[in-house]
Every structure is written in structure tokens, then in C-alpha cells.
Structure 1
Amino acid sequence: MPNGYVPVDIDVTPFDNSKTSKQGVSRTYKGYDGYAPMMAYIGTEGFLVNCELREGKQHCQNHTPEFLKETLRLCHQLTDAPLLIRLDGGNDSSENLGILIEDGSWFIVKRNRRRGEAKEKWLDDVKSFRKDIRNPRDGKTEYIGSSWKNVTYKDSDNNEKTMGMRIGYEVIERTIDKYGQMLLAGDIEVNTWWTNLDFTDDDVIKHYHAHGECEQYHSEIKTDMDVERLPSGKFDTNELVLELTILAYNILRLIGQQSLKSKHSPKTKRPVKRRRLRTVIGNLILIAGHVTSHGRKVILSLGCSNTWRHAFMDIYQRFVLA
């Protein structure tokens, strides 16, 4: 990231394994039978740093503290830069916040509204502050700001600690929908986040929204690599397949990133910062070629009509020396 932080996105993505009797397959929160693995991606390129296969019925917070500690350890082995951990509301837990605070990492965690925190009360409170109010269109008003709340957690020595934690909020009131229809009762939307960043409110919201990009990484694993329907009936075997997926995924990601550095890569309509794995597989892995042996040499001919042939050779020369 331009500010020097390395983003780490942690999220659960259900794998549809319906109409099977595989070990560990059960009802997921998406409404179908399958698994609910947790994934951790590092960097803006989306390298897969850690994953854990879970039963479909398992709550996303169950075993997450252990997964979070392991992920932080792996991330610190990869980089000395400050980490920006981003988590969804399913992992809104003081235990997770305590782990991140003790680790010294920066974080943005989606916060769930507690009992007694009605949307109407939030709207009344932010209206009384009247700090950052915006009207992007008729019938829509946005209230953006921050507040503070004490959070109690346990440190590594199991001692309780309490500290003030920043809550970034975005409260939206709609009296007219996006189609111009006036609403009899106004619609209220409340979004809040735990964070220890000193960024502006707008930057906190922007960086959390960037967390949604990990859905594209999930899609690449499930569709481009066709890993969603795991092959075995045994949970341990499928867990091993998912571990091997980390290796294959990161190799494909490395090839894709290296192809962006090649001056021979086909031009794109607009600048790109990463290639989708489908493009990497289709143009660089499944590339057509003719292998011949002659004069004690193995010759690979790629064909003059292939526009990726020079980029393929650039990538080959880069990794053959590694």
C-alpha cells in the first residue's frame, strides 16, 4: 500500500459440496451443504498466506484466535513492514482485538451493534454531534465520524486489560431510494468498525471497503482453480488438498505478477496490478507447444502466432535462475 502498510485480509468462504456424504460436510451460512474454510491473504496482490478447512456448520469465530496467531506469525516471517489486519463482523471479538493489540498490528474489524444500540439511537446521536454531514443526492444523508469505547481483553499472560478503542462509524439515512421513490419510513443504515489507526474517517472506511477484494481471491480458488468441490470423502485428505492449494495458488500468482513486468506481455486497455488466475492458466500454463529432442537437446517450440510466447520466455528465464 502507498502508506507502507501490508494488508492482511482474513475471511471465511463456504465451499459448496452439496449432495455428497463427505466427512465434515454440513449446512453453511450460505444455505447449502459444504465446508467453511477460513482464508488469509497478504498484500494487495492477494497471496495466500494461510488457510484452514472447517466443517460447514462451524461458526467463523470458533478456533479463529489460534488461526489468527498462526497467521500473524507467518506474516511476520514474510515482511517486517507494519501489518493492517482486516476482519468481518463475524470475528468481532475482544479476544481477537487483544491478540492484535498484543502483536502490535494495526487493524480494522467490522463491529456489530450491541443490544440497546438501535439504529434510531445511533441516528439521533450522530445528528446531535453534527460534525461530518454529507448529502450525496436528494433523500440521502451520510454522517461520518469516530467515537471511543473501552474494550476489555486478556493478554498473553491471561491478565485482564482495559483500553479505549476507536470506533469509526458511517450512519446513512435514506428518505428517497436510488430510483427516486420516496419512502414512507426512512431507511437507516449503520456501519461501525473497531480500529487503532490514526487515519481519517474516510480513509478507515476506504481501507475496510478494500477488504471486499478478497472475494475475488475466493472466486479464483473456487472457480479458476476448481477447488470448491473437494475430491475426497475424508476430511483429513481434503485438508491436505487445501494445503497444496496454497502452494499452487501462490505459484500461479507469482507467474501472473511476473508477467506484468515483462515488456512483451500483451497490452491491456487499462493499467492492472494483478492478473486473474484464469488468465494465467489459460495463456501461460495451458500454452500450446511442441517438444522435440535433437542433438542431445530438448527444444520447446511455442509457435509464432502465440502472442504470449515472448512473455512466457521472459517468465521462464526469470524463474529458471531462482
Structure 2
Amino acid sequence: MNKAFKLDTGNDSLHSIGGIYLAGQVLQQSEIDQEFSSEHKANYTFQDVDIFKSQIGLLIQGCEHYTDINQFRENEVFMKSLSLNNVPSEERLRQRLEMMLAKHEKLLKQSNTKLLKKQVMGAISKGGMEFIPLDMDVSPMDNSGTQKENVCWTYKNHDGFAPMFAYIGKQGFMLNQELRPGSQHAQKGMPQFLDESFAMVKKLKLNHPVLLRLDSAHDAEINFDHLPEEHYFLIKRNLRKEDKVQWLANARRLGRQLKSRDGKNIFVGEIHHKTPGNNEKRNVVPMIFKVTERLEDSDGNKLLIPDIEVETYWTNLPLEAEDVIELYHEHGTSEQYHSELKTDMNVERLPSGKFMANQFFLHCAMLAFNILRVIGTHLIENKSLAPIRIRGTRRRLRCVIRDLILIACKHVKHAGVEVLKFGRHCTWFKLYQKISLSL
């Protein structure tokens, strides 16, 4: 038995969540207290905004259960970092989220927009042009084995929800989200979601046009009525029952062939005579195509029947076909953002049996997600101060939580001044301090 140490307790105020102070600094940029000032109730111990900030404080640490709040009820660092006078109990947190008014959704989204407005959105460049990427997609959440309201069978073959997300900027900030029943088709409610999201984009006052990227679930004709002319779009088409052999013939005639391995022919090009929904009353929208003909498999075995793969895209980008296709393939990065939300922050099995309570939970998760993203962005900008070598242009949220949120500190009060002290072996302190001073 190892008896190297004796165990004891003391009166020191020690905490494992030193990074919650950074999160509180970022949360102030959202002006959430000002947004909810009109909702103040004189006879309430816990204002609605206090409930939301408490939930955000949990999610920043990757804590998804209501019961997790109990360990912070007497935690002064948690309370003062988030400007809370009190921390609700597990029961009160659950009950108040279930009782929230629908109008609070708008206030939370406005707070999120104000936070994003204060950030610099990373742009992507292609063909001498610069864009702010805006990726929208559905990402089902597995809530199988539960009886929660609106949990249904999803296209991922499990019971759950099918929320819609919108991410903006090269860093991957969450611009908007909407919790949906698991069985709801991705296109249902899409025009309204587009309108709401582009209204948020307008408030951000970006320096570059936005490039909206959507998959083939959203190539419905009606969506084109909700795309602002000042921005760009790139939407993968649903081929439906179009003949692939005919597409190959058209590609040979209208396209240009790219270099490829033996037994594989790739043709790309553009056409300018198609309209969304084949509606002749609409204006023509340029279409990019990529047709791949495989005569042999990757091992060199000849195929009895050639394999034909067709990709087509609606776009108003004035770029070469190869650049447009490459831009769309980068849309897959948004899958990593889904993973960060569901895996790094544990936001998948939503905590309430009531749909609206889970929607508010997701609103809080959106703010927490962006707070962590802001901290991660500052981390990358000052990575020379990090104790480890950091590659890449974006820090995964689980690393932000591990390295800068769940960091030990000591809370000290002396001569009317409160101090967070970090140990001499805290290798992340210089970076922490630099980020705090820059917020």
C-alpha cells in the first residue's frame, strides 16, 4: 500500500474551475443582463437571467445534468465569475427552465448575436475572392430509450431530436439553432430559418459577403426566395430521378476532363440553362457539375458495368468549377462542430422531458459553445505562450475545457481585494492571464 501522503482538509478556498472567470468575461460581451433587464421581477430570488447563466456555467464545463448544479451552490468563484448572487438548486433549475416564456428565446438569440458581433469572423479565400462561410445542417441527437416530448425516429436510425444548426466564420461560431422533432424533414421550416439567420448576419456587419453552403436536403425551389442577393450560395442538388448515363454524355460534351488514374474519367463544367424546380418562370441559376466514370476499381479490376457518380450544385459564385466543388467539400467541417457540441460538451441526451425546456437548454448550449470558441480563438492567437505545441487554426472545445476551464486556483480575499491564485506548477497561467487581459 502506498503511504507516501497523509490526507487532510483545510480552510483554503480551492477550486477546479478557475477558467470559469474567463467564461464570465466573455459572457459579459453578450450583454445578457441588459437583454433581460425588462424581465426583472422584484419578488424573485432567482431572476430568469440567473437561471440561464447558471445553466450556461454548467455547460461551459461540459456538465449536462441538472444535478451538477448542486456542487456550485456555495461556490463563490462560480457565482462571482457569472455575476450571480445565488445559485439555484437542481429542482429550481429544472422547474424554472420548464416554465420559461417563449419570448425569452428571442432575448437569448439577441445576446448570442451581440457576442458574435464583437468577434472577428474568419474568412476563407478562393479564386481571389474572400467569403465568410455560413454552414447549415441538421444533426440528429440520440435520445433513444426515453419518453421525452417530440422524440421520434430519425434518419440516423435511432430515436431522438433533429435540430438544425447554423455555423458562421472559419472558426465555427454557432450563429443559430432550432430544436426539432426527430421525424421532421430537414426542409420543413427552412425558409423561416434562413430568414432568421440572415437577419442575424445583417446585424453582425461583416466585412466580406457570406457564402451559404447547404446539402441536397435543402435544394427546394422555395429556398431561393430567401437568399439575399448581396451574399453567395452553394447548394448541392438532389438528382432525384435524373439519368446518370445522360449526365455522363452531357459532361463529355460540355465539360472538361481532369487528370485521374487509369480506369477513371472525371469531367467538370458549368451549365446555364437550368432553373430551380424546373420552373420556367424563375431566373436561370448557374449549375456546376462533376461526373465521375469508373471503368476499373482502385485495385485495377475492370468493372462489367461502369460506375457513374454525378455531383451537381446550384451556385452564384463567379468561380471555376473545381474551386466551387472544393468549397462545397469544405462544408464537411461543420460535422466537426456537431461533434464538439455533442461529444466535447455532452449536449446530446437532453435533460428534460419537455420540448420547450430542451429548446432553452440548447439556447444556453449555443452561448456556452461560442464562449468556449472565443476563448479557443484567443488561445490560438497567443499559442506561443502555451506549454505545449499547438498546431492548426482552431482549438477543439474539449481541449479548451481541459486546459483553460478546468484549471485549479485558490480564491483569496485580502484588504478588500479578491484574487484568484494559480499554483507555481500551473503551466497554462501565462496564456490564461494574456487571454483575460485581452477580453
With the length of structure 1 as denominator, give the TM-score of the two structures.
0.92
Write out per-residue CA displacement over residues 22-58 of structure 1, whole angstroms, 9 at most, x where no aligned residue. 0010000000000000000011110000000000000
Alignment of 1:190-209 (within 5 A): 190-209=310-329
Partner of 1:85: 212
Partner of 1:121: 246
Write out per-residue CA displacement over residues 58-96 of structure 1, whole angstroms, 9 at most, x where no aligned residue. 000000000010001101111333111000100011111
SS at match of 2:310: strand
CA contact under 8 A between 2:276 and 2:285: conserved in structure 1? no
Q: Across the two proteins, how many residue pairs are aligned to each other?
A: 309
Higher helix share: 2
SS at match of 1:149: coil
1:253 offset after TM fit, Å?
A: 0.2
Partner of 1:14: 140
Partner of 1:50: 176
Write out per-residue CA displacement over residues 207-256 of structure 1, whole angstroms, 9 at most, x where no aligned residue. 10111100000000000010100000000000000111111010000000
C-alpha separation in 2, matches of 1:120 and 1:15: 38
Equivalent AA in structure 1 for residue 435 of structure 2: I
CA contact under 8 A between 1:48 and 1:246: conserved in structure 2? yes
SS at match of 2:348: coil
Equivalent AA in structure 2 for residue 162 of structure 1: R
C-alpha separation in 1, matches of 2:302 and 2:423: 62
C-alpha separation in 2, matches of 1:287 and 1:16: 31
Q: Which runs of 5+ in 1 are unaligned?
A: 154-159
Q: Which has the higher contact order (CA 8 A, sep 6+)?
A: 2
1:134 offset after TM fit, Å?
A: 2.1
C-alpha separation in 1, matches of 2:316 and 2:209: 13
Residue 212 in structure 1 maps to residue 338 in structure 2? no
C-alpha separation in 1, matches of 2:437 and 2:144: 44
Alignment of 1:235-246 (within 5 A): 235-246=355-366
Write out per-residue CA displacement over residues 139-192 of structure 1, whole angstroms, 9 at most, x where no aligned residue. 111101111234268xxxxxx952111110110111222233332221111000
Partner of 1:280: 400
1:269 offset after TM fit, Å?
A: 5.7
**Of the candidates 145, 149, 161, which is equivalent to residue 23 of structure 1?**
149
Alignment of 1:258-277 (within 5 A): 258-262=378-382, 263-268=384-389, 270=391, 272-277=392-397
**Of the candidates 134, 146, 150, which is equivalent to residue 270 of structure 2?**
146
Higher strand share: 1
C-alpha separation in 2, matches of 1:276 and 1:179: 37
1:301 offset after TM fit, Å?
A: 2.3
1:114 offset after TM fit, Å?
A: 4.0
Question: Which has more radius of gyration?
Answer: 2
Q: Percent identity?
A: 43
1:267 offset after TM fit, Å?
A: 4.7
CA contact under 8 A between 2:220 and 2:276: conserved in structure 1? no
Moved more, 105-114 or 276-285: 105-114
1:103 offset after TM fit, Å?
A: 4.2
CA contact under 8 A between 1:150 and 1:162: conserved in structure 2? no
Q: Which runs of 5+ in 2 are unaligned?
A: 1-123
